[in-house]
Amino acid sequence: MSTTGPQDNSFDVYVERVKESRIGDVDLDNPGFGTNFSDHMAVLNYSDGQWQKPNIVPFAEFKCSPSLISLHYGQTVFEGMKAFKNSRGEVIMFRPREHIERLNRSSRRLCIPEIHPETILQTLKKLIRIDREWIPVKRGNSLYIRPLIFGSDNFLGVRPSHTYTCIIITSPVGLYYKNGLKPVRLATNCHYIRAAMGGAGDVKTPANYGVTLYPAREVQENGFDQVLWLDAKEQKYIEEVGTMNIFFKLKDSLVTPPAMGTILPGITRDSVIRLAKEWGMTVIERSISIDEVIHAYASGDLEEVFGSGTAAVISPVGEIVHEGRSLKMDAENAGPFTQRLYDEITGIQYGDREDRYGWRFAVDP
Ligand code: COI
């Protein structure tokens, strides 16, 4: 971080605690996804050309003006990361530094001033420790952490905001998809695209999600879970799923679309690539067309398909449909390689597998 970059304000976090916890209202064994929010949240404001010191305050609604610039023009970025509690009650975050780095990368693309990584990390540690009772212990469940930064000027001109707010909320969650680890069904939707080269498909900004709602609704009306996005230029090459990156196991090689600007450079994606290489698999980040996948299916080379993401973890894909052609994989269970990855990654996250890459980050001092 350059000396002209953001200051580290982590030394001085103001904390106001709730008078009464809401934790009794929540079933931590069955939390669903993203519906319950822990007692506290962190708030950081950017004014006078710098990020001010972090505050941790009771989770509460906040007021804003109808003229809030980011509501109108979407100058907003976010992240999704997770904390886990192991059987000894120790709290671990998974690769928070990489998430913070990606948050700052997203901010740069949206002209949002970066926050010093240490400020976010120390604020996260403090917030999670305060709400540690909210972290589920049941295997498969975790505390989802959602930092969000938005321009907070009240102004209708199109320009970067002069003031910003960063909030960090946390939510006890289970698996992202409603059917848990049951394989998801994907369909292409060639009337629409998600992202083009030079756009912002590699940035965690709400617009990337908003524009997928209508195309996703179309495929969901036909019984699919998500859209399998194809490239913007030729509608030929596979990109990602919007809620996760995608991998194809073709015999002994694992192929995934390259993170060259149109897909989100997933942190779980990176974990998958490193583990698969370590296990002797040939991992290739390259363009893969939907036709190649169809041919590999026909020849028997396509053994498994799965998605990866913070929320999705490792999600098996049971079917892909493209222009009336259906590729059916196991509809009920994850394939052996997909299951091995799920077990290894969650094993590292919950602290019962060796952390060979330093992905675990202890929240306690
Ligand atoms: C995540 O995986 O953390 C995301 O932000 C994706 C979102 C669909 C929940």
Q: Is the CB of 307 under 6 A from ligand 1?
A: no
In the chain, the number of structural domains is: 2
**Which residue's CA is the nearest one to ligand 1's atom 9?**
311
Q: Per-residue pLDDT averaged across 269-289, rounded?
A: 98
The pLDDT value given to residue 333: 93
The pLDDT value given to residue 2: 43
The pLDDT value given to residue 149: 98
The percentage of the chain sitting over the pLDDT mark of 70, rounded to a whole number, equals 99
Q: Per-residue pLDDT averaged across 10-19, rounded?
A: 88
* Mean pLDDT rounded to a whole number for the chain: 95
Same domain (yes/no): 20, 156: yes
What number does the ligand 1 atom closest to the CA of 80 have? 3
Same domain (yes/no): 203, 225: yes
Same domain (yes/no): 232, 340: yes
User: Is residue 249 predicted with pLDDT exceeding 60?
Assistant: yes
* pLDDT tens track for 253-273: 999 999 999 999 999 999 999
CA 311 to centroid of ligand 1, rounded, Å? 5
27 falls within a domain: yes
Same domain (yes/no): 167, 189: no
User: Is residue 232 predicted with pLDDT exceeding 90?
Assistant: yes
CATH number at residue 208: 3.20.10.10
User: Is residue 44 predicted with pLDDT exceeding 70?
Assistant: yes
Identify the band that residue 4 occupies on the pLDDT scale cut at 50, 70 and 90: low
Same domain (yes/no): 197, 340: yes
362 falls within a domain: no
Same domain (yes/no): 166, 189: no
CA 298 to centroid of ligand 1, rounded, Å? 32
354 falls within a domain: no
Q: Is the CB of 243 under 6 A from ligand 1?
A: yes
User: Is residue 68 predicted with pLDDT exceeding 70?
Assistant: yes
Q: Is the CB of 309 under 6 A from ligand 1?
A: yes
The pLDDT value given to residue 9: 72
230 falls within a domain: yes
Q: Which amino acid is at 171?
A: S
Domain that holds residue 281: 184-348
* pLDDT tens track for 324-356: 999 999 989 999 999 999 999 999 999 999 999
Same domain (yes/no): 51, 75: yes
Identify the band that residue 365 occupies on the pLDDT scale cut at 50, 70 and 90: confident
Q: Per-residue pLDDT averaged across 69-79, rounded?
A: 98
User: Is residue 1 predicted with pLDDT exceeding 70?
Assistant: no
242 falls within a domain: yes
User: How many whole angstroms separate alpha carbon 14 and alpha carbon 6?
Assistant: 19
User: Is residue 208 predicted with pLDDT exceeding 70?
Assistant: yes
Q: Per-residue pLDDT averaged across 176-189, rounded?
A: 90
Same domain (yes/no): 169, 233: no
Same domain (yes/no): 24, 54: yes
CATH number at residue 135: 3.30.470.10
What number does the ligand 1 atom closest to the CA of 33 have? 9
Same domain (yes/no): 202, 271: yes
CA 48 to centroid of ligand 1, rounded, Å? 32
Q: Per-residue pLDDT averaged across 193-204, rounded?
A: 96
pTM of the model: 0.96
What number does the ligand 1 atom closest to the CA of 204 have? 5
What number does the ligand 1 atom closest to the CA of 78 have? 5
Q: Is the CB of 123 under 6 A from ligand 1?
A: no
* pLDDT tens track for 296-326: 999 999 999 999 999 999 999 999 999 999 9
The pLDDT value given to residue 131: 98
363 falls within a domain: no
What number does the ligand 1 atom closest to the CA of 79 have? 5
The pLDDT value given to residue 3: 43
Q: Is the CB of 311 under 6 A from ligand 1?
A: yes
66 falls within a domain: yes
Same domain (yes/no): 88, 154: yes
Among 176, 267, 272, residue to substitute to test ligand 1 (most atoms within 8 Å of Cβ) = 176
Identify the band that residue 277 occupies on the pLDDT scale cut at 50, 70 and 90: very high
